[in-house]
């Protein structure tokens, strides 16, 4: 074998090894063009197969190995693309699983929201009830008492009614300058339905009250301290020696406070006796007793004020009040 043939055979063998290496790496050998490696199903021809000479396997004898390598790279890229398109994607970093919606937290938040709304509503209702109890009931009771008081004075002016004591719309008016500037209408009874009319009532039970014109006894009265007119709201402003005046159709009855009892049991009815126990009085006389609830805004105890009649005055044509009211 001549030296030229030996070189051709060696070159062919080297090219065959190169092709096998390229095939193992996933791309065609230097002999395969990019078009042949594009995935059309063409079969690679063995460069050293029977009947194939070295020049036929390598293409043009002048082709440089570098050019063939470039073509092989392009072909490898084509095969790689085809593999990526036709096969499964390579396994990468798994995408983190999404957490399910916090249903439990949402239910708790909804429950808290509903509870908050209920508390706000309850607060508003309570506030409205307080306004109604302590203010609006005063407005309504004062209007009603004023109308009744006007009717009483109209009866007196028209000289109607059974003499000195007219009990149809009230028996008279209580004046306590140190407690209130109002003329407090006095009617029969101390049940809430009477006192809620914005008046003071005289007791019929458990101890029956005397009346001002009686020669002895205890003229005992009650009224609300808060709400429904709150006629005795400032009873704690009454001091020993202060005047209490009761006005009837024909007479002014002037009393003088001699004792106060800031707190006693609401079951203590002895304070209403004809000679009231706890007042310091020891003999029968003509007394007046004012009672109401205490502390303010509660009805746990009773606040008591006692007075004793010091004189009476006839009512003149102008109904001039006594000196204690001027």
Annotation says 3 is catalytic? no
Got the DSSP string for 31-77?
A: TS-TTTTSSS-PPPPPTTSTT--HHHHHSSTT--HHHHHHHHHHHHH
Eight-class DSSP state of 139? H
Residue whose C-alpha is closest to residue 292's, from 255, 256, 261: 261
**Residues 276, 101: Cα–Cα separation, whole Å:** 76
C-alpha–C-alpha distance, residues 110 and 116, integer Å: 10
Quote the CA–CA distance of 131 and 46 in Å, as a whole number: 106
Q: Which two tokens stand for residue 145?
A: 């008492």
CA distance 82 to 270: 113
H or E element, residue 288: strand 286-294
Structure tokens, 185: 């209408």
- Catalytic hit among 152, 293, 305, 309: 293
Judge whether 305 and 238 are in contact, CB under 8 Å: yes
Query: b/e for 206-230, b at 16 or more Cβ within 10 A?
Result: ebebbebeeeebbbbbbbbbbbbbb
User: What are the φ/ψ torsions at residue 202 (nearest 5 degrees)?
Assistant: -95, 145
**Which residues belong to the active site?**
293
């Amino acid at each position: 074998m001549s030296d030229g043939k030996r070189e051709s055979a060696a070159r062919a063998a080297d090219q065959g090894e190169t092709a096998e290496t390229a095939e193992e790496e996933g791309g065609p050998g230097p002999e395969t063009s990019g078009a042949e490696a594009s995935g059309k199903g063409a079969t690679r021809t063995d460069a050293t197969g029977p009947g194939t000479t070295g020049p036929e396997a390598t293409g043009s004898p002048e082709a440089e190995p570098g050019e063939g390598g470039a073509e092989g790279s392009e072909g490898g890229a084509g095969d790689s693309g085809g593999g990526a398109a036709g096969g499964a994607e390579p396994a990468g970093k798994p995408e983190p699983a999404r957490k399910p919606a916090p249903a439990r937290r949402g239910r708790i938040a909804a429950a808290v929201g509903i509870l908050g709304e209920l508390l706000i509503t309850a607060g508003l209702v309570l506030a409205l009830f307080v306004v109604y109890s302590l203010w609006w009931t005063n407005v309504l009771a004062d209007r009603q008492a004023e109308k009744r008081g006007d009717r009483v004075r109209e009866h007196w002016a028209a000289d109607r009614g059974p003499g000195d004591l007219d009990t149809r719309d009230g028996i008279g008016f209580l004046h306590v300058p140190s407690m209130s500037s109002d003329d407090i209408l006095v009617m029969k009874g101390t049940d809430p339905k009477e006192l809620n009319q914005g008046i003071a009532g005289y007791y019929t039970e458990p101890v029956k009250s005397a009346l001002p014109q009686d020669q002895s006894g205890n003229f005992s009265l009650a009224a609300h301290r808060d709400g429904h007119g709150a006629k005795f709201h400032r009873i704690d402003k009454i001091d020993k020696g202060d005047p209490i005046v009761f006005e009837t159709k024909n007479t002014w009855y002037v009393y003088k406070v001699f004792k106060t009892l800031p707190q006693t049991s609401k079951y203590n009815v002895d304070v209403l006796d004809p000679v009231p126990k706890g007042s310091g009085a020891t003999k029968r006389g003509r007394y007046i007793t004012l009672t109401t609830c205490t502390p303010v805004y509660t009805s746990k105890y009773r606040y008591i004020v006692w007075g004793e009649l010091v004189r009476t005055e006839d009512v003149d044509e102008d109904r001039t009040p006594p000196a204690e009211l001027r």
